[in-house]
């Protein structure tokens, strides 16, 4: 069951997708280097709006959208329409697609949301695995230390899949919770395959403690070479 923690660890990587700079000011990503069909400056309210084929790209980040709005005085930033964000760092690649991404730097909260036809999708690639998060909405706050995902949530890597209606992750306390409409976890490892369903699934990533709470049920299938009388007795016990 150790491999399932790879799914929840994916949340630790999510902050990078929101393109926060080292200075902590996302507005540094907007300005003269952004390309678009139209560029509207409203000096009286300290706003910049980029309309049509919005594009920003450097060696690390790439941002695409139909529209981008920067409210510098309010420290609010919004991307809308066919939003695509990506970050390349070393041998890893992280991307997000959504219909809208919003961030209020002053209140330190934001969200990414999809449409009825296309959910928010976050992909994280490493040399060894691919991690995917799909949901109707992803909300983040507290310097991207707290996340809430909702609406047909699915987290997966190469061998494991978790489905739930909603999930939360507190990076500081290391607590992950999947709940509502009986989340289900399906996967496999070197020992075999498994499935688990419960009213709530919780994981403490600091202590590696895993809990399935409320009417939990599931199954485990061992590989043929592990189907010994001794192992079967351990499962029964």
**Residue of 187 and 168 predicted with greater confidence:** 168
pTM: 0.80
Whether residue 186 is predicted with pLDDT greater than 90 in this model: the reply is: no
Does the pLDDT of residue 58 top 90, yes or no? no
Predicted confidence at residue 166, as pLDDT, reads: 92
pLDDT top residue among 98 and 8:
98
pLDDT more than 90, % of the chain: 24
192 pLDDT exceeds 50? yes
Structural domains of the chain, with CATH: 2-236 (2.60.450.10)
* CA–centroid distance for 162 within its chain: 13
pLDDT computed for residue 223 by the predictor: 53
Mean pLDDT throughout 177-200?
79
Q: Give the model's confidence band at 212: pLDDT under 50 very low, under 70 low, under 90 confident, else very high.
A: confident
pLDDT tens digits, residue range 85-116?
998 888 988 899 999 999 888 888 889 999 98
The pLDDT, as a whole number, for residue 37 is: 94
Read off the pLDDT band of 147 (50, 70, 90).
confident
Specify the range with the lowest mean pLDDT, choosing from 28-37, 67-76, 148-157, 191-200. Answer: 28-37
- How much is the pLDDT for 231? 45
Nearest to 101 by CA among 53, 143, 142, 66: 66
- Give the pLDDT of residue 217: 84
For the cut 60, the answer to whether the pLDDT of residue 81 exceeds it is yes
* Mean pLDDT of the 56-61 span: 84
pLDDT for residue 54: 93
């Amino acid at each position: 069951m150790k491999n399932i923690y790879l799914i929840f660890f994916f949340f630790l990587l999510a902050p990078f997708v929101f393109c926060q700079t080292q200075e902590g000011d996302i507005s540094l990503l907007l300005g003269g280097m952004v390309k678009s069909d139209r560029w509207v400056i409203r000096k009286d309210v300290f706003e910049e709006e980029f309309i049509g084929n919005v594009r920003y790209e450097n060696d690390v980040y790439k941002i695409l959208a139909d529209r981008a709005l920067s409210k510098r005085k309010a420290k609010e930033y919004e991307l809308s329409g066919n939003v695509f964000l990506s970050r390349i760092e070393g041998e890893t690649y992280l991307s997000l697609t959504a219909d809208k991404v919003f961030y209020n730097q002053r209140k330190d909260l934001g969200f990414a949301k999809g449409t009825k036809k296309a959910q928010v999708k976050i992909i994280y690639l490493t040399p060894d695995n691919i991690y995917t998060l799909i949901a109707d909405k992803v909300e983040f706050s507290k310097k991207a230390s707290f996340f809430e995902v909702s609406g047909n949530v699915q987290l997966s890597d190469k061998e494991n899949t978790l489905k739930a209606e909603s999930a939360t992750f507190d990076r500081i306390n290391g607590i992950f919770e999947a709940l509502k409409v009986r989340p289900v976890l399906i996967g496999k490892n070197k020992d075999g395959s498994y499935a688990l369903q419960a009213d709530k699934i919780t994981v403490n990533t600091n202590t590696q403690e895993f809990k399935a709470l409320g009417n939990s049920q599931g199954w485990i299938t061992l590989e043929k070479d592990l189907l010994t009388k001794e192992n079967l007795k351990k499962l029964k016990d």
